[in-house]
Amino acid sequence: MKFSDRIQKVDRRIIYVILLIAVVLPLVFRLGFKTYTTTPVENLYRHIDAIAGKDDMAILMDFTHDPGVLPELYPMDLAILRHCFERNIKVFTISFLPQGAAIIQMALSEVKEDYPNIEANVDYCNFGFKPWSTKLPIMLGMGDDIAEAVETNSEGLKLENLPIMQNMKNYDNIQVVVEISGSSMGQFWVIYARAKFGVDVAVGLTAVMAADVYPYLQSGQFVGSLGGLKGAAEYEQLVDIFAMNGLEFSKKKARDMEWVEAQYEELPELAQLYKYNKARIGMDAQAIVHVLIIFFIILGNIGYFLDRRAQKKSM
């Protein structure tokens, strides 16, 4: 076999093994690549942070995603919840998928164990699973009365009787709806909740969906977005350097890598837990895999051009 053929026809099992090593090694031995934050992530962080300590404002997190996308989206779930619990921001959670309801339970219990003072139905309220078919009535109904539209929380308690609901009426009390999903669910919130009631919407998406949101970001229909593991890693970093240190967000500081590095050295133990660094560790593996895929693409193309040159010569 010619050299050009050989580099174009590497057995896919060899590619798989090399890829496996490239994924596993950075997960075991942390490379510690830097995380650079981007505008859509910073905007979402700032938007949520703006209601820190307010009793009559909350964010609504929609967990309409299934376990298949957890590696990318779960770090976002944890990072946003940690931000809210750290900065005393009220949170509502909901899912229109049954699996999403279980993910809410997982995420809430995982973050709550580090915040013993946070109380269910006082600091946050889990609306739980609501059938897909009730999505439209709930999205529209919350514009008038959240307690009436959602009716009960995940434990079956009437919302109107819960302490957290005493200062909450409708979308006027929702700072932002954060849709975390591997689908176009965020657009439903734009069509039904934003267009009619003006509530702000943001999304957390898998990387393959991230390119779809740019028209919505430019038009302001999404106030921010977290694109894939990279978006989650950026949010983790913002929570670490600002929320964990009790600091207000500053774009200038977030982009000053020397200042960021200095903040990392003073982080509390809580921020160093594996669960709150998952996305950044994952990004090390992703960076290596991206380079590897580029290498394979270039290798294939070198073979292709060598082949073409040989063909031209023989003609």
What is the rounded distance in angstroms from the CA atom of residue 92 to the CA atom of residue 121?
9
Q: State yes or no: residue 67 binds other proteins (CB under 8 A).
A: yes
Beta bridge partners of 58: 90, 174
Q: State yes or no: residue 106 binds other proteins (CB under 8 A).
A: yes
Closest CA to 82 of 110, 122, 53, 44: 110
User: Binding residue for other proteins (CB under 8 A) from 52, 141, 157, 245?
Assistant: 141
What is the rounded distance in angstroms from the CA atom of residue 124 to the CA atom of residue 243?
18
User: Binding residue for other proteins (CB under 8 A) from 54, 87, 88, 102?
Assistant: 102
Closest CA to 97 of 58, 137, 139, 67: 67
Amino acid letter, residue 159: L
Closest CA to 286 of 102, 71, 121: 71
What is the rounded distance in angstroms from the CA atom of residue 279 to the CA atom of residue 236?
7
- For other proteins, the closer CB: 122 or 257: 257
Closest CA to 121 of 164, 64, 86, 78: 164
143 alpha carbon, distance to own chain's centre: 25
Q: State yes or no: residue 157 binds other proteins (CB under 8 A).
A: no
Q: State yes or no: residue 289 binds other proteins (CB under 8 A).
A: yes
Q: State yes or no: residue 114 binds other proteins (CB under 8 A).
A: no
Amino acid letter, residue 268: P
What is the rounded distance in angstroms from the CA atom of residue 196 to the CA atom of residue 88?
29
User: Binding residue for other proteins (CB under 8 A) from 50, 52, 140, 306?
Assistant: 140
CB 57, min distance to other proteins, A: 25
User: Binding residue for other proteins (CB under 8 A) from 16, 256, 272, 311?
Assistant: 16
Q: State yes or no: residue 272 binds other proteins (CB under 8 A).
A: no
Amino acid letter, residue 211: A
Question: Residues 80, 48: contact at Cβ < 8 Å?
Answer: yes
Q: State yes or no: residue 287 binds other proteins (CB under 8 A).
A: yes
CB 189, min distance to other proteins, A: 16
CB 10, min distance to other proteins, A: 7
Please identify, among the stretches 47-55, 86-94, 126-134, 167-175, the one whose residues bind other proteins according to the rule CB under 8 A: 126-134
293 token code pair: 């895929």
- For other proteins, the closer CB: 67 or 198: 67
Q: State yes or no: residue 212 binds other proteins (CB under 8 A).
A: yes
Residues found near other proteins in the complex (CB under 8 A): 10, 12, 15-16, 19-20, 23, 33-36, 38, 66-71, 99, 101-102, 105-106, 108-109, 131-134, 136-137, 140-141, 154-155, 207, 211-212, 214-215, 218, 228, 230, 283, 286-287, 289-294, 296-297, 299-301, 304-305
